[in-house]
Amino acid sequence: SSRSVSTPRWPFDAARSTGTTCTPLLAALLASSVIDEVETSSDFADVKRYIRSQYTVDAEGRTTGASMFWVYPAGYWGPYRETEEGGVKQHGLLVTIESGAKVEEAVKAIRDSLPEEGTAHIHVA
């Protein structure tokens, strides 16, 4: 008899739909200071290089493990900066990638999702 493999739902379905609705959770994760941070380059080559260097990629260009890291725009350092007026400007994207995701698709999704201002999350399957 053939047994069908069920696709896991939670937490994967919830992770794919967080967008910008999770700002307090992002702040809590960032406050832990245990998440790697990657500054973008104009062509996002640094992001691609990070994924390939930190996580094994198979012959088809798919990750063989899950990962999580923070991406922020070039020219900034980290997920926020203090303004001259004493305020805080947030910037960046929390990236979570499932095992089996294509690296090229992940980089494109990150490029397309990185907010100009504020913070957000993207989950790449």
Is residue 7 included in any domain, yes or no?
no
Does the structure show a pLDDT above 70 at 7?
no
- For residues 32 and 107, the model is more confident at 107
Is residue 4 included in any domain, yes or no?
no
- For residues 21 and 30, the model is more confident at 30
Is residue 60 included in any domain, yes or no?
yes
pTM for the whole thing? 0.81
Q: How far apart are CA 90 and CA 123, in angstroms?
A: 19
Is residue 2 included in any domain, yes or no?
no
Q: What's the number of domains the chain is made of? A: 1
Does the structure show a pLDDT above 90 at 16?
no
Q: How far apart are CA 112 and CA 28, in angstroms?
A: 24
- Cα distances (Å, whole numbers) of residue 5 to 8, 74, 102: 9, 42, 21
pLDDT for residue 26:
80
Full residue range of the structural domain in which residue 22 is found: 12-76+87-124
Q: How far apart are CA 92 and CA 88, in angstroms?
A: 13
Q: What is the DSSP letter of 55?
A: S
pLDDT for residue 38:
95
Q: How far apart are CA 82 and CA 125, in angstroms?
A: 34
In this prediction, residue 20 has a pLDDT band, given cuts at 50, 70 and 90, of: low
Is residue 96 included in any domain, yes or no?
yes
Is residue 1 included in any domain, yes or no?
no
Strands 88-97 and 118-124: parallel
Residues 68-87 have a mean pLDDT of 88
Does the structure show a pLDDT above 70 at 14?
no
- What residues have CB less than 8 Å from 46, skipping those under 6 apart? 38, 39, 40
Does the structure show a pLDDT above 90 at 42?
no
Percent of the chain whose predicted confidence (pLDDT) is above 90: 47
Residues 54-76 have a mean pLDDT of 91
